[in-house]
Amino acid sequence: MTRIDTRPALALKGISKHYGYVKALDDVDFHVAPGEIVSLLGDNGAGKSTLLKVMSGAHAPSEGTIEIEGKPVSRYNPSLASDLGVEMVYQDLSLVDGLDISTNLQLGREPLLPFPLSLFGFVDFRRMHAVSREQLGKLGVRTAPPERMVEMLSGGQRQVTAISRAAVRLFERGGGTILMDEPTAALGYEQTKMVEKLICRMAQAGFAIVLVTHNLPLCMDVSNRIVVLNRGRKVADVARADADHNRIVSWITGAATAA
């Protein structure tokens, strides 16, 4: 059993978000602690992706505050989030199609050939592929070979690569928060199981994990806590042990609340 730290890795307080007339989020409090897996559930349009984008710095909230490891952040954006150890895996993936898997994994941190070739920025591809193969092995990830171009990958292989990239960064940093927007939506049975294992392994390594999903069996298997949004409001925030399938469906549909 993973020991869950009580100090949140990431905390949101009183978050509201308006898109013109649409109130996508209404006064939402949210937190996730190191080693904890929190599933964020809700029907289409409930505000899940919006809340994740606020957590990742992609969208600024209209109201409310964000704290990372206990410290309030201002002028928050995705690059600052990444520096502070918050990595997002988007619903619409953000890999570079024209590059291979290992370059996508090491983007911005590619190993260079020895001096003097390093002066010209020549990448040591052989080393990069070997490092990537080793990293994927450590993560327990089996996907296409690291030399394969991303544009040649299936939707599932891309998804696994995107999650692996965030995981690699956090393992190198030694901790942080990973935000995943429907990571298994495009996956078959075996790759869903692989991602499930990877999520659990990251939690055991002490990462804080926020998982947006419509996959209730996955949510029931991996979550420590379940948060449900309904039309932008938080309607439930309960330990996994206090949730069952029927209660979750009633929160999602708005028939009941437990917040």
Ligand X SMILES: Nc1ncnc2c1ncn2[C@@H]1O[C@H](COP(=O)(O)OP(=O)(O)OP(=O)(O)O)[C@@H](O)[C@H]1O
Residue whose CB is less far from ligand X, 23 or 201 = 23
CA 86 to chain centre: 8
The one-letter amino acid at 95? L
| Comparison of 56 and 102: residue with beta carbon closer to ligand X | 56
Q: Residue 184 — φ and ψ, nearest 5°? A: -110, 10
| CB-based burial label for 140 (10 Å; 0-12, 13-18, 19+) | exposed
24 binds ligand X (CB under 6 A): yes
22 binds ligand X (CB under 6 A): yes
Query: Exactly one of 33, 34, 49, 183 binds ligand X (CB under 6 A); which one?
Result: 49
The window from 38-46, 68-76, 79-87, 243-251 that contacts ligand X (CB under 6 A) reads 38-46
Pair of tokens at residue 115: 């001096």
Stretch that binds ligand X, among 42-50, 70-78, 101-109, 167-175 (CB under 6 A): 42-50
Of 154, 150, 159, 230, nearest to 192 by C-alpha is 159
Query: Of 37-45, 121-129, 153-161, 219-227, which part binds ligand X (CB under 6 A)?
Result: 37-45
**Token pair of 162 as six digits:** 């995107």
Q: Please state whether the peptide bond connecting residue 72 to the residue before it is cis, i.e. omega within 30 degrees of 0.
A: no
Please pick, from the candidates 14, 45, 137, 174, the single residue that binds ligand X as defined by CB under 6 A: 45
Tokens standing for residue 232: 């932008």
The span from the CA of 53 to the CA of 180, in Å, is 10
Least Cβ distance, residue 230 to ligand X (angstroms):
10
Q: Number of residues interacting with ligand X: please give it, by CB under 6 A.
A: 11
Cβ–Cβ under 8 Å, residues 247 and 216: no
Task: State yes or no: residue 19 binds ligand X (CB under 6 A).
Answer: yes
Query: CA-to-CA distance for 242 and 237, rounded, in angstroms?
Result: 10
Tell me the per-residue interface mask from 25 to 64 with Mg ion, x by CB under 5 A, - otherwise. Answer: ------------------------x---------------
Q: Are 182 and 213 in contact (CB under 8 A)?
A: yes
Using CB under 6 A as the binding rule, whether residue 60 contacts ligand X is answered as no
Among 8, 34, 35, 42, binds ligand X (CB under 6 A): 42
Among 9, 31, 50, 196, binds ligand X (CB under 6 A): 50
Binding partner of residue 42 among ligand X, Mg ion, none, CB cut-off 5 to 8 Å per kind: ligand X
Smallest CA-to-CA distance from 39 within 171, 218, 192, 187 is with 218
The kind and range of the H/E element at 48 are: helix 48-56
Distance CA 182, CA 29 (A): 21
Q: Toward ligand X, which CB reaches closer, 24 or 198?
A: 24
Contacting ligand X (CB under 6 A), which of 38, 46, 166, 209? 46
| Closest approach of Mg ion to the CB of residue 221, in Å | 21
Binding residues (CB under 6 A) for ligand X: these are 19, 22, 24, 42, 44-50
Binding residues (CB under 5 A) for Mg ion: these are 49
